[in-house]
A and B are shown apart, each in its own frame.
Chain A
Amino acid sequence: MSALANATVAQDHHGHDDHGHHHKETFITKYIFSQDHKMIAKQYLITGLIMGALGILMSVLFRIQIAWPEQSFAIFELLLGEKYAPDGVMNADAYLALVTIHGTIMVFFVLTAGLSGTFSNFLIPLQIGARDMASGFLNMVSYWIFFISSVIMISSLFVESGPASAGWTIYPPLSALPEAIPGSGMGMTLWLISMAFFIAQSLLGSLNYIVTVINLRTKGMSMTRLPLTIWALFVTAIIGVVSFPVLLSAALMLIMDRSFGTSFFLSDIYIKGEVLAHQGGSPVLFEHLFWFLGHPEVYIVILPAMGLVSEIMASNSRKPIFGYRAMVASILAIAFLSTIVWGHHMFVSGMNPFLGSVFTFTTLLIAIPSAVKAFNWITTLWKGNLQMNTGMLFSIGFVSTFITGGLTGIILGDSTLDINVHDTYFVIAHFHLVMGISALYGLFAGVYHWFPKMFGRMMNKNLGYVHFWVTAIGAYGVFFPMHFIGLAGLPRRYYTNTAFPYFDDLADTNVLITVFAIITAVVQLVFIYNFISSIFYGKRATQNPWRSNTLEWTTPVEHVHGNWPGEIPSVYRWSYDYSKMNIDETDYVIPGQDFVPQNVPLQKNEEELNH
């Protein structure tokens, strides 16, 4: 490796003039109330993984009920208890609660906080060349608010009347009236409080990320030289700031309706033999407010994954990402469009059909930047020198599921076609592939790729391969057949399908899906094992194991507060100079090395690109 690459890492301790980072750290300040972005990222990751394990376990439980309805299983009795699984048969209360909390945990706690929380915290300072986040304190506070929010959500599983069970979209009046469903009592209150905390942490975090990216970029790191990861995380934070407050207002209004007798969302209701006093509100208003966040939310989930995948793919293809500017433009286009398409969740909600037309138009527009991104990823692979590390496999898997899931969006985004597949298993298949599985692949790719930077050790690749291939087959095995049972008109959130004999011939397919789901869930244990054992016993990482260009790989393997022991490196180029040849096309720019890190000044023998 050339000396150039390591030029700025020269351990010049005299240059360590920034702040006094030498103060002694106790266990508490280092591991618990840490203000170091790297530690906070790890806290987010581990909390997210624990929540993810819970969310996946719940999905296995309700999948068992769907495949073998109303049959007795010892695992139900063990995990749900006598009240929710009398004689080992899961009851409808438990089923709806599991579906609801599975959705909530996976969307918010795993794929929002676990994914963007982890990688925004970890990568933003490291990749832009900053010592830490703009406000380390706020960063710490945001993690601990997230922690409180997780604890409240989990504790809602243990209340007398059961956790929230009105679906993760918590549409009132069902979510507002304990008379309508038991889960809308204490469980729903805790859900709303938990979400209020969650939104607070998301806003604190997002503001911090935005400020950091705008203000703390190192010398030479212009916006057009930012790695695509940072672009994606930056834009994600902006979408979060724009849309999360709207969910907070919806949650607050729902709290008011529930507890203080207001009527934002309630009107003309007769329940349990009584007419309620609420008059004049509309549940459709709630749907608008919810989806004004809810739709951008799916991009909050998928954009970070896109950013991570772009970076990992370029690095492992030993090629620049194809069409950098188009990639940035499509991130911005997706972000903008994401805020004006929410109505496609409401084509049959009773809103004016003309609005449906408008939302169909804007929704299908999103397919264009998405298609550009998919084509650019595929072209990035073309004529590459693909290093099949686990992160790379998950990145390829990401593009595959993103395409498969994204394409059915063309059907669901079309108001006409939505009429008959709305709220069926077709929708489940669509969004699980395009945002659930894809974002999880992004998360896994990111963990495998940046694990050496996070923990100073490597993960085992063979276990990674097993994890990837079983997951890849299992995920398609679960969600591809679901399209077809959706097209048969099978609604989602049905405790059992036996009430309609017409669905009897779908039962075998449902069993098949559950079998795939169990296999896929079990193989995640391989990941957990690999993750934990590698933290303690993994092979020690070298400084730049994937031979990448971005700045985080110029920091020492052992974490230091402030990231670089010496001066912060300056940046002279974009982060995608992989396999760049010198002017005479005789060798790489740096002879014998197929990558040029961002901190290497422009060489005499190379052509300057506009980056």
Chain B
Amino acid sequence: MTVFLIIIVIALLGITFWQMSKILKLSKSQSSEDPTIASDKDNKIQGYLMLAFLIVFNIFMLYNFWSYSKFYLPEAASAHGEDYDRLMFISIGLIMVVQVLTQFLLHYFSFKYKGEKGKKAFFYADNDKLEFIWTIIPVIVLAGLIIYGLFTWSEIMNVEEDEDTVVIELYAYQFGWKARYAGEDNTLGKANVRFIEGINTVGIDESDSYAMDDKITSELHLPVDKKVLFKLRSQDVLHSAYFPFFRAQMNVVPGMITQFGFTPTITSEEMRNSEYMVDKVTEINQIRKENSKELVANGEMALDPYEFEYYLLCNKICGISHYNMQMKIVVESEEDYKEWLAGQESFGETMAKQEENNKQ
């Protein structure tokens, strides 16, 4: 593919230069024609090119939608994600209607009204009615979009914490993530970077009575169909917790705690077995296989086959390894989640172990 594209580029460049030299020659030989100001012939050629461009551009847009729409993320794996996707599709639909219409008018007019000597342009300076129409139509359409958007926004952002909410702290640092679960008391212990010392890597306040049962993990497990509220904390610079599959994102800001909440609705297992993901993973593995051949030929390791997992990315430039600051997310049934959580070591246990080690 790559080689093929490079060949195309070189061919296109060649054609460009060949055409250019031809044009230069032509423009020199016809000394009667002004090489600097558009003649009727130029107007005609450029007018037709505008028409051609309109057609090519429309085909190109169609091609993009046809072959790249599959890139759009799979069905949202969170409760609010459905609303998000609906609003997104409505917006894209509206935009494309306006896009096709206005691009058509723009390029078609450029073709239709290409200049000719002796042709008279229509002196048309103002029309209040027309201008009123195309002011009011965007106003109405946008009002609809704004109202829809704002309702969805406030629904997503106003997370009310109740007894059932799972509160998890996400802790960001150069270049990784940690999750802190509240433990049995369902309350996160106090924390600040000033308490970071040794194995207390996220700066938990050891004197806080809520702290000892907190559990720090390097994977993020979430129970399906339960409201999760993330409290985000950064150790050093700005990061952004980006959960594309859940249509969720919030920056992580040193010096303050930000939050974002959502309810996961599709387990990792279900997502992995969805038609979308099976197709996608098959294609990706095909690509990886192809790439591996090249690597092996160069004496390097082959790529591992890919299996889908949800992941969390950093989406705010944070330094050299920004591109690889990720965390695996597992959405599972509540029983599985509880079982996994029970198997994790609490902060108190970690500290006790440490002390014992120190004594020995």
Contact = CB atoms under 8 A, between A and B. Distances in A.
B207 interface: no
A318 B113 CA distance: 11
Give the bracket for the number of chain B residues in contact with chain A. 35 or more
A497 B315 CA distance: 13
Contacts of A580: 123
B253 interface: yes
A485 B71 CA distance: 7
Contacts, number: 404
A353 B284 contact: no
Nearest to A365: B142
Interface stretch (A4-12, A249-257, A395-403): A395-403
Interface string B138-178: 11001001100110111011100000000000000010000
B112 to A, nearest CB: 9
Given A167-B317, A581-B123, A484 B69 contact: yes
A275 B250 contact: no
Nearest to A182: B320
B351 interface: no
B61 A378 contact: no
Given A420-B248, A484-B71, A506-B71, A466 B315 contact: no
For A181, A268, A487, which residue has the most chain B Cβ atoms within 10 angstroms?
Answer: A268
A68 B3 CA distance: 11
A609 B127 CA distance: 14
A353 B125 contact: no
Interface in A257-311: 266-271, 275, 280-284
Given A353-B153, A417-B88, A511-B1, A403 B125 contact: no
B36 interface: yes
B35 A519 contact: no
Given A281-B255, A500-B326, A545 B150 contact: no
Residues of B contacting A: mostly: helix
B194 A275 contact: yes
Contacts of A364: 142, 145-146
A326 interface: yes
A367 interface: yes
Interface in B254-298: 254-256, 258, 280, 283-284, 287-288, 291
A393 B24 CA distance: 19
Interface string A364-395: 11011001101111110111111111001100
A322 B139 CA distance: 20
Interface string B231-250: 01001111010101101111
A92 B36 contact: no
B42 interface: yes
B237 A174 contact: yes
A282 B256 contact: yes
Interface residues of A, number: 141
B301 interface: no
Contact of A491 (B135, B196, B313): B313
Nearest to A372: B135
Contacts of B187: none
Given A353-B154, A407-B95, A415-B153, A382 B109 contact: yes
A586 to B, nearest CB: 12
A268 B106 contact: no
Interface string B63-99: 0100011011100000000011001100110110011
B153 A270 contact: no
Interface string A433-477: 000000000000000000000000011111101100110110011
Interface string A166-184: 1100011110010011000
A417 B148 CA distance: 11
A246 interface: no
Contact of A484 (B13, B68, B238): B68
B73 A489 contact: yes
A92 B142 contact: no
B228 to A, nearest CB: 16
Interface stretch (B48-56, B217-225, B335-343): B48-56
B38 interface: yes
A170 B88 CA distance: 30
B324 interface: yes
Contact of A411 (B91, B99, B242): B91
Given A387-B115, A410-B95, A500-B311, A378 B122 contact: no
A349 B315 CA distance: 11
Q: Which 5 A-B pairs have the closest CB atoms?
A: A267-B255, A489-B244, A458-B36, A388-B46, A484-B68
30 contacts: A173-B237, A180-B237, A268-B194, A269-B193, A269-B237, A269-B254, A270-B193, A319-B121, A360-B146, A375-B134, A377-B106, A381-B106, A381-B110, A385-B115, A400-B107, A404-B103, A414-B146, A416-B153, A422-B240, A461-B38, A462-B27, A489-B73, A501-B303, A505-B287, A509-B71, A512-B5, A515-B8, A539-B36, A545-B37, A576-B125
